Amino acid sequence: MDFAAIFPFAPEIGYIGLVLVNFFGSLIPFIPLPGFIFLASMSVGNQFDLHVLAILSALAATAAKQIIFYVSYQGRRIISEKTRK
């Protein structure tokens, strides 16, 4: 069975699509699943370079998680001193 027949979206999405899906999927805390599905489906075959896919996916996920950590760290200032104790 041809894997491209099951996931026909992979050739059209390209590297930029993978980065966008992985970035916005990683912005949601605890649910990074959409990026992994695209990464797994795009890594099958010879159309995309596996190293570039892995590096771009990791960079996009890391950037998104850094944003989440920064926002949660800065959100600590909103909480009163009494609530923190």
pLDDT given for residue 30 in this prediction: 78
One pLDDT digit (tens) per residue for the chain, 85 residues: 565 666 655 567 788 888 998 899 888 877 767 778 888 888 887 888 899 999 999 999 999 999 999 988 887 777 666 666 6
The secondary structure of the chain as a DSSP string is --HHHH-TTHHHHHHHHHHHHHHHHHHSTT--HHHHHHHHHHTSSSSS-HHHHHHHHHHHHHHHHHHHHHHHHHHTTTS-HHHH-
pTM flag (> 0.85): no
pLDDT given for residue 56 in this prediction: 93
